[in-house]
Structure 1
Amino acid sequence: MSGTQWSEFERGCMEQALKIAKQGEGQVSPNPLVGCVLARDGKIIAEGWHDHLGDLHAEQAAIADAEARGVATQGATAFVTLEPCNHHGRTPPCTEALLWAGIKRVVIAAEDINPTVRGGGIDYLRKAGIQVSQGLLEAEAREQMHSFMHWCECRRPIVLLKAALDCNGNVDSKSGPPARFTSAESLDEVHRLRKDCDAVLVGVNTVVRDNPELTVRRVALGSGKQPLRIVLDRTLRTPESATLVSDEHDTLILHCEGDENGLECDTILMPPLFSDTEEGVDLVQLLDLLGDREIQNLLVEGGPDVWARFLADELVDEAYIFHSKANLGEGLNSGISDTVLETAGLHLVEERASGDDTLQVWKRN
Structure 2
Amino acid sequence: MGARHDQTTPSLSGGFIADAFARAIAAAMDHAGATSPNPPVGCAILDADGNILAVEAHRKAGDLHAEARAIATCRAAGTIDRIHTVVVTLEPCNHHGRTPPCSEAILSTPAREVWIAEADPNPRVEGGGAHRLAAANLSVRFLSELDHPDAARLSAEAERLIAPFATWVTTGRSFVTIKQALDETGSMIPPPGHRTFTSEASLTLAHRMRRRADAILTGSGTILADRPEFTVRHLPDHPDKSRILAILDRSGQVPADYLAEAIRRGLRPMLFNDIGDALTRLGNEGVHEVLVEAGPALTGAILAAGLWDEHVVIQRTRSDLPDQITVSRNRTKKG
* TM-score, structure 2 normalization: 0.77
The alignment partner of 2:143 has SS state of coil
Once the two structures are TM-superposed, the CA of residue 195 in structure 1 deviates from its matched residue by 1.2
Given the superposition, is the C-alpha separation of residues 149 and 224 from structure 1 closer, same or farther in structure 2, using an over 3 Å criterion? farther
RMSD of aligned residue pairs (Cα, Å): 3.2
Tell me the residue number matched to 1:200. Answer: 216
Aligned residue among 209, 212, 226 for 2:225? 209
Task: Flag structure 1 segments of 5+ consecutive residues without an equivalent.
Answer: 256-273, 275-280, 325-351
Once the two structures are TM-superposed, the CA of residue 364 in structure 1 deviates from its matched residue by 2.8
Q: Which has the higher strand share?
A: 1
Aligned residues: 306
What percentage of aligned pairs have identical amino acids?
A: 34
Tell me the residue number matched to 1:136. Answer: 143
Aligned residue among 305, 313, 325 for 2:305? 313
Tell me the residue number matched to 1:87. Answer: 95
Deviation string for 1:192-215 (max 9, x for gaps)? 221122211111222222211111
- CA distance in 1 between counterparts of 2:182 and 2:271 reads 27
**Residues 28 and 50, structure 1, Cα contact 8 Å, conserved in 2:** no
Matched, 1:76 2:84: yes
Given the superposition, is the C-alpha separation of residues 170 and 44 from structure 1 closer, same or farther in structure 2, using an over 3 Å criterion? closer
Larger Rg computed on CA atoms: 1
- CA distance in 2 between counterparts of 1:354 and 1:133 reads 49
Tell me the residue number matched to 2:53. Answer: 46
Matches within 5 A, 1:183-332: 183-185=198-200, 186-223=202-239, 225-242=241-258, 244-255=261-272, 274=273, 281-283=274-276, 285-323=277-315
* TM-score, structure 1 normalization: 0.72
Amino acid at match of 1:70: G
Given the superposition, is the C-alpha separation of residues 311 and 134 from structure 1 closer, same or farther in structure 2, using an over 3 Å criterion? same
Tell me the residue number matched to 1:361. Answer: 326
Task: Flag structure 2 segments of 5+ consecutive residues without an equivalent.
Answer: 1-10, 146-154, 331-335
- CA distance in 2 between counterparts of 1:245 and 1:36 reads 36
Tell me the residue number matched to 2:179. Answer: 162
Given the superposition, is the C-alpha separation of residues 67 and 45 from structure 1 closer, same or farther in structure 2, using an over 3 Å criterion? farther
Tell me the residue number matched to 1:259. Answer: none
Amino acid at match of 1:99: L
- CA distance in 1 between counterparts of 2:195 and 2:322 reads 13
**Residues 32 and 161, structure 2, Cα contact 8 Å, conserved in 1:** no
The alignment partner of 1:145 has SS state of helix
Once the two structures are TM-superposed, the CA of residue 232 in structure 1 deviates from its matched residue by 1.5
- CA distance in 2 between counterparts of 1:228 and 1:354 reads 34
Given the superposition, is the C-alpha separation of residues 184 and 224 from structure 1 closer, same or farther in structure 2, using an over 3 Å criterion? farther
Given the superposition, is the C-alpha separation of residues 205 and 14 from structure 1 closer, same or farther in structure 2, using an over 3 Å criterion? closer
Tell me the residue number matched to 2:13. Answer: 7
